[in-house]
Copies of this chain bind each other. A is one copy, B any other.
């Protein structure tokens, strides 16, 4: 679940058992005004205008807390490091949101619907890459 726009910040914090600090609140409100997929550095630069003494570490720590709390979502659950695909067959990925394990699922096995070859704006489609995100059997058991 993503941000409930109407929910006050204090409530969000109480629900997630985190303290309402000045830095955290300004960070949250700053992030809500941003668009796209900003990096921690970009968020840091923006929030520094309002709280000049804030530390980059605080930005990182709070972004993680927000993501863990479900206040914000990560753009991608894939590895941060460069990874190469060894499976030559057309396939997609199954990603566990708990343990972050990524496994392959065949294009056919996934059975996705119709695809487009063009998108509005003149984007020429080469392929679709689907992540099926959820909880793997192991993590359902171990409640990790």
Contact = CB atoms under 8 A, between A and B. Distances in A.
Interface in A72-97: 72-88, 93-97
A77 B140 CA distance: 29
A44 interface: no
Contacts of A93: 75
Contacts of A96: 123
Contact of A132 (B66, B80, B123): B123
A80 B83 contact: no
B38 A86 contact: yes
Interface stretch (A17-25, A50-58, A111-119): A111-119
Q: How large is the interface on A (under 10, 10 to 19, 20 to 34, 35 or more residues)?
A: 35 or more
A115 to B, nearest CB: 8
Nearest to A122: B137
Given A79-B76, A80-B80, A31 B86 contact: yes
A11 interface: no
12 contacts: A2-B85, A5-B88, A35-B87, A40-B82, A67-B84, A72-B86, A74-B82, A113-B113, A119-B134, A121-B137, A122-B136, A122-B137
Interface of A: 2-3, 5, 31-32, 34-40, 43, 63, 66-67, 72-88, 93-97, 102-105, 109, 111-114, 116, 119-137, 140
